Amino acid sequence: TQLLEQSPQFLSIQEGENLTVYCNSSSVFSSLQWYRQEPGEGPVLLVTVVTGGEVKKLKRLTFQFGDARKDSSLHITAAQPGDTGLYLCAGAYLRGSTLGRLYFGRGTQLTVWP
Amino acid sequence: DAGVIQSPRHEVTEMGQEVTLRCKPISGHNSLFWYRQTMMRGLELLIYFNNNVPIDDSGMPEDRFSAKMPNASFSTLKIQPSEPRDSAVYFCASSPDPSDRAEQFFGPGTRLTVL
């Protein structure tokens, strides 16, 4: 059973379109991170959100942490082919025994066509 | 900084053989993680270390898998004997400290194929 569920699993769109991907859980996290992974490489951190309701923007990418800190969304405006990749969300708990561990979702594979 | 270094990048072996994957974390990082990624199961945590001490190995599939971290700059993941179902991409990651907000820096991965 996956602690974090991501949807959709696959998304294929044309350049210039907007999109939103979701990361949901029944658990409350102390923080949530979004990573992007390109073929043949390891995941790379995009953003960390730590406060319920927090919104962070990274150029055309907008990240939101749910008020209850159980879910998050990533919105991309005017997608470009360079946005193509696997987007992974990962949650962390503020607990002594698991501190530092991230619980990853299975990811959304985004393809943006020119 | 060179980032997290993994070797080999690709490994093809036959069922029953021993496989050793190697990782050099970023200098000064205190936490090290081993992950396995497949299409079916996504990115799974196998084991992680804080200050060279294994903290959680509950993700290690079975006794055929073992991991060591003899010092702060080196870790190995060993599979003995290997099986075809072990075929996957294995990632090593390191982070500066065991914090709930610490970024994990991933290596390029080792693509393992067991025939």
Is there a cis peptide before residue B70, judged by omega within 30 degrees of 0?
no
Task: Give contacts of A42 with chain B, Cβ < 8 Å.
Answer: 4, 91, 93, 106-109
Does the pLDDT at position A101 exceed 90?
no
Task: Give contacts of A98 with chain B, Cβ < 8 Å.
Answer: 56
Does the pLDDT at position A97 exceed 90?
no
Task: Give residue B111's pLDDT.
Answer: 98
Q: Which of A38, A104, A109 to mutate to test the interface with B (most CBs of B within 10 A)?
A: A104
pLDDT tens readout for residues A42-53: 999 999 999 999
- Residue B89 in tokens: 């991409």
CA nearest to A92, candidates A84, A81, A80, A100: A100
Q: Using CA atoms, how far apart are residues A61 and A39, in angstroms rounded to an integer?
A: 20
DSSP secondary structure string for all residues of A8-73: -SEEEEETT--EEEEEE-SS--SEEEEEEE-TTS--EEEEEE-STT-EEEETTEEEEE-TTSSEEE
Do B65 and B76 meet the contact criterion of CB atoms below 8 Å apart? no
Q: Which of B94, B100, B101 to mutate to test the interface with A (most CBs of A within 10 A)?
A: B100
- Mean pLDDT of the region A86-100: 83
CA nearest to A101, candidates B102, B42, B69: B102
Percentage of residues of chain B with pLDDT beyond 70: 99
Are B102 and A100 in contact (CB < 8 Å)? yes
User: Which of A105-114, B1-10, B51-60 holds the top average pLDDT?
Assistant: A105-114
Q: What's the Cα-to-Cα distance from A78 to each of A74, A75, A88, A112, B25, rounded to whole Å? A: 13, 10, 20, 10, 36
Does the pLDDT at position A38 exceed 80?
yes
- Mean pLDDT of the region A98-110: 89
